[in-house]
Each structure stands twice: as structure tokens, then as C-alpha cells.
Amino acid sequence: MTGARCGRRSLSNAVSVVIVGGGHGGFQAAASLRAEGYDGSITIYGEEPHLPYQRPPLSKGMLLGKQEERHAILRPAEFYATQRIEVVRGRRIASLAELPPSDWVILATGARNRALPRDGVFYLRTLGETAEIKQRLADARDVAIIGGGFIGLEVAAAARALGKDVTVYEAGPRLMGRVVAPVVSDYFLAQHEARGVRVVLNSTAAPEADLIVAGIGVVPNDELAREAGLAVGNGIAVDEFLRTSDPRIFAIGDCAEYPNPYAGARVRLESVQNAVDQAACVARAICGRPAAYDAVPWFWSDQFDIHLQMTGIATGFDRTVTRGDVASNKFSVFYYRGGELRAVDSINRAAEHMTARKLIAARARVTPEQAADESFDLKSAILAG
Amino acid sequence: MPNITYISHTGASRTVDVLQGDSIMEGAVQNNVDGIVGACGGNLQCATCHVYVDAACLPTLDPMDPDEDSMLESAAAPRQMNSRLSCQIRVRPEHDGCTVRTPESQ
């Protein structure tokens, strides 16, 4: 993926890039710039004391003790030294005016957990918070989870696997209701209950337990952009090239609201895929190879031994069909809107998920009848486009 | 600790000690070895830790599970008989001395 050299106006005059945010997106922007042949300076400002790390293991393997902090750290210090990437840690940037002059700024400020107006509730987004929850989990007998979304359910699964008495309180009528179809919600409800997790739907109760963890969504960190007078919607507003209203400033990852061609709408996605692919897109733009961002969205959630993999944007779906038998614990759900395939969720069907990513990318025509028919070869629809 | 040798598509070779129980992907990432990305952190979601395992080492590996098999189909570089996703190979003593080659693209 190495391109021609870029990042230098002349032998003695290097370009500079400042990245605000030391999460997965910020790291990847720096790494991708180097991979693209960018030769100028790169500085990452991160708020946390750690080197950039990945967050998915926090609510999964780390709570279970299967993974340690060192597994989450994306690259060792040596990487940043050899790649000439300066990482300034523990530094919160409150205003773009604090930054040194640079040719380009990449905002990868992420999001923060929405908080409840009460004390004694823990939230999981950082390594520090994970360590605290893990420690308290060890001593807890019962655990209350507020929010039946991905994070809440992953923490519930981990706590239950550790033998805790676990109850999930969800304000809506079903689990993961914001993103998946009722058939998927119902499946996960049954699976959690079968493993001894109590689930209370339509609940806005303020539960008591030895440990209370809330996962009730996030708020994009867009204050820097607001303060700088950049356009902001549901997150920092960017165009299809991920440029903010100041073309020298990009925004990527959880903090950025962008026009998503698969959704046909402006969206803000919270995923590793989105952060990583947007980072690479911006690196190419800085190296003079701009292209509209159109990577296929995909997501995953692991709960107990169940692998949920999603691709596309299901928002606004008006029909779903199920491929495979739900009772077999291996099935996929195809989401349609106006007759077009928009998204596919796969449960314990990794191969089908990978095919689905290609179907969504190709805007393939798969009728609901074909999707429901297991004898129909989905791959043939990719080729047909 | 078992030694694992990583050889890039250009022939650059690095041998590092990988902690028992860590994956060959983690061994590369934590030791700053080029050629392995591991974007999803070892969750069988991205196929960016594709390696070609040297013949001498192949018999020491556990068979691939179906999910790894299907992810390999989506790897950026051509799949070969000795293709594996290095996040799925947990290093054990018998892997000491294993060599893996990294493809040109991940």
C-alpha cells in the first residue's frame, strides 16, 4: 500500500500533521500516513496516559481475564520511535489554538459515555475504567447492568461467565433495539436468559447491586470543533472526503458525522472498522490521493460464545428475512428498505458475514426470497452485481 | 520463550521471543514487526494478520477452525496451502523456531 513519497514541499520544508485523539483512529491515521509514504512530521495528542489501544477487548476478554492490558496496546513505544510519530500522552486539548501550527489537523477525538444523573454507577470505555470494573467485579455478588446494548450485554455476559448474579435493565422494549431487528433481539434475550442473566425490559428503574455498570450510549466529543467554529451536527460534520468545514481539518471515527452512501444519509458510526478505514482514507487524501469515503460498514459483538457480525446500515428497514434456522444458533438476518438489501446480521455464520460484506459493497440484488432460500448461492449475486 | 521468525515479502527477517499463550500476531505487533496489522485485535474480523507458515512448522499447528477458513478467503494477498491467520496461532513450546512469511499486502 506504499505510495510515492509525500509530505514534503522541498528537501528542507516538511509538511506537518497534528492528530487530536490517541485512540484507534488517531493511531491508524499516523500509521497509514507512514504506510502511504508520508515523510513529514506527525504528532498525536492523547488524553489518556496510555499509548493508543484498542477498545473491543475491554468489554470482552479483559473483564474475563483472558487478555491483559499489553494485548490491547496497539503498538509498542518502539513503533512510534521508528516511524517518527510523536505521541503526547495525558494531554487534553481544549482548543485548536493550543496546537502548534500545522498543515493538516485530524480530529479523532472519539466519544464519551452518556452518564446517568446518579452516583455509584460505573462506565466502561477506557483501560482505567475497565481495570476498576474488573476489580469490583471480583468482589461483587450481584451486578446490575443499565442498558441492553452491545456494551451492556457484553459486560453482562462476562459477569455471568464469572459466576455473578446479573440483571440487565433496558429502557426499551427489546435488546439492542437501536440497531438490530426483533428476531435478533429475541434470540439474544433467550440466550442471555438461558445462561442465567435476568433481563428486565421497558425498565427505567434505578437498580441497586454490589456493582452497577451503565452502557447507555455515547456523546461525540465535538466541543473542540464547536469552539473552532466548525460545522457540527450529530458529531463533527464532514463531507464525503471527511473534511470539516475547514478543508485543512479532517474528522474521523466516533466523533465524525459523514454522508454514508450505504445509509443514504449522514451518520456517525462507532466502530473499529469505521475508525480504521476513515483514517486510511484521510492519509491518502493528505498524500494527494483523495477519494470519497465509501468503505462497507461492519461491526461485531461477542456475547458468551455467540458471535454477532453485522454489515451495512439497517436504519429505516421495512422488511427482514431470516436465512437459516434460529434454533440451530446459526442464522443471518437480511434487512431490506424499499426492496433493496441494506444490511445483514449474522449469528455464528462467519463465512456468510464475509459474503454479506461483499453483497453490501456491490449493492448486489438479492431478493428476500433468494435470501431466505439456503439453496440459493449468495456469492453468485456478488458477481451479478 | 519460543522464538518465532517473521520474514517480510522483501526478505527482511526478524526473530523475536513470543510469550507462551500469546498469538503469532501479538508477537509481531508487540515487537514492532512489520507486515502484520491485526486491525481487529485478533477477533477473526479483518484478515489483516495473514501469514504463510513454513513447511517445517505446519505439523505443529492445530487445525484451522471454519471461521478462520472463511476469513482467509477475504485476505488481501493470495491464499496458499500454508496460509493462516496469525491471531489464531497461540504460541506453545513446540512452535519454537517456527518461521512465518508475511504477504505484500494485508
A351 to B41: CB separation less than 8 angstroms, yes or no = no
Q: Under an 8 A CB cutoff, do A57 and B41 touch?
A: yes
Q: Please give the Cα distance from A331 to B12 (Å, whole number).
A: 43
Asked if residue B44 is part of any domain, the answer here is yes
- Place A344 in a pLDDT band, splitting at 50, 70 and 90: very high
Judging contacts by C-beta atoms under 8 Å, the chain A residues touching residue B43 are 56, 300, 302
Burial group, residue A339, by CB count within 10 angstroms (0-12, 13-18, 19+) = exposed
Which of A1, A75, A300 has its CB closest to that of B45?
Answer: A300
Q: Say whether A350 and B30 touch across the interface (CB within 8 A).
A: no
Average pLDDT of the segment spanning A193-218: 97
For residue A1, name the pLDDT band (cuts at 50, 70, 90).
Answer: very low
Looking at the predicted structure, is the pLDDT value of residue A11 above 60?
Answer: yes
Set of chain A residues whose Cβ sits within 8 Å of the Cβ of B74: 354, 357
**Contact between chains at B74 and A357 (C-beta distance less than 8 A):** yes
Q: Give contacts of A357 with chain B, Cβ < 8 Å.
A: 74
Mean pLDDT, to the nearest integer, of A261-268?
Answer: 96
Tell me: pLDDT of A2 over 60.
Answer: no
DSSP B32: T
In angstroms, what separates the C-alpha of B29 from chain A's closest C-alpha?
6
Distance from chain centroid for Cα A378: 27
Q: Determine the pLDDT at residue A385.
A: 57
> Residue B102: its chain A contacts at CB < 8 A?
none
Give the per-residue pLDDT at A33: 96
Smallest Cα distance from B41 to chain A, Å: 7
Model confidence at A59: pLDDT above 50: yes
Residue B64 in any domain: the answer is: yes
Residue A205: band (very low, low, confident or very high) from pLDDT cuts 50, 70, 90 = confident
Q: Is residue B74 predicted with pLDDT exceeding 90?
A: no
Considering only CB atoms, which residues of chain A are within 8 Å of chain B? 1, 28, 54, 56-57, 70-76, 78-79, 82, 272-273, 276, 298, 300, 302, 307, 309, 350-351, 354, 357
What is the per-residue pLDDT for A384? 73
Q: Which residues from chain B sit within 8 angstroms of residue A85, using beta carbons? A: none
For residue A290, count CB atoms less than 10 angstroms from its CB and return exposed for 0-12, middle for 13-18, buried for 19 or more. Answer: middle
Contacts of A74 in chain B (CB under 8 A): 29
In a domain, B106, yes or no: no
ipTM of the complex: 0.89
What value does the mean pLDDT take over residues A270-275?
A: 97
Give, for A219, the enclosing helix (H) or strand (E).
Answer: strand A218-220
pTM of the model: 0.95
Phi, psi of A232 (to 5 degrees): -135, 135
- Percent of all residues in chain A with a pLDDT value above 70, rounded to a whole number: 99
The whole-number pLDDT of residue A4 equals 65
- Cα–Cα distance, A252 to A67 (Å, whole number): 27
Q: Please report the domains of chain A, with CATH numbers, ordered by start residue.
A: 8-112+218-286 (3.50.50.60), 127-214 (3.50.50.60), 305-384 (3.30.390.30)
Residue A39 burial (10 A CB sphere; 0-12, 13-18, 19+)? middle
Closest CA to A62 of A125, A113, A131, A128: A131
The mean predicted confidence, pLDDT, of chain A is 96
Q: What is the mean pLDDT of residues A335-339?
A: 96
Task: State the pLDDT at residue A297.
Answer: 98
How close, in Å, is residue B7 to chain A by CA atoms? 18
Q: Residue B18 above 70 pLDDT?
A: yes
Write out pLDDT tens, residues A168-190.
999 999 999 999 999 999 999 99
Pairing of strands A198-200, A232-233: unpaired
Q: Is residue B55 part of a domain?
A: yes
CB-based contact (8 Å) between B15 and chain A?
Answer: no
pLDDT attached to residue A12: 79
CA distance A2 to chain B (A): 10
Cα A202 to Cα A213: distance, rounded to the nearest angstrom: 18
Which residue in A361, A331, A360, A357 sits closest to A346, CA to CA?
Answer: A331
Give me the helices (H) in chain A, please. Answer: 24-35, 61-64, 69-72, 77-82, 127-139, 150-161, 182-194, 223-227, 272-286, 350-361, 368-372, 378-384
Quick check: B72 contacting A, CB < 8 Å? no
Residues of B in contact with A307 (CB under 8 A): 67
- Alpha carbon distances (Å) from A338 to A314, A318, A360: 12, 7, 15
Mean pLDDT of A53-82: 94
Domain annotation covers residue B67: yes
Angstrom distance (rounded) from CA A216 to CA A125: 12
Contact assignment for B44 to A350 by CB distance below 8 Å? yes
**Residues spanned by the domain of B74:** 3-101
The shortest C-alpha distance from B52 to chain A (Å) reads 19
A16-20 sheet: strands from edge to edge? A85-88, A41-45, A16-20, A104-107, A249-251
Decide the pairing of beta strands A256-260 and A265-267: antiparallel
A166, A210 in Cβ contact below 8 A? no
The answer to whether position B43 is within a domain reads yes
| Total domain count, chain B | 1
Contacts of B41 in chain A (CB under 8 A): 54, 56-57, 71-72, 272
pLDDT score for A10? 82
Instruction: Locate the chain A residue with the closest alpha carbon to B68.
Output: A350
Output phi, psi for A321, to 5 deg. -130, 150
Determine whether the interchain pair A354/B67 forms a contact, defined as Cβ–Cβ distance below 8 Å: no
Residues B10-30 have a mean pLDDT of: 96
Q: What is the CATH number of the domain that holds B60?
A: 3.10.20.30
Q: Which of B26, B30, B67 sits opposite A350 (nearest CB)?
A: B67
Split at pLDDT 50, 70, 90, the class of A383 is: confident
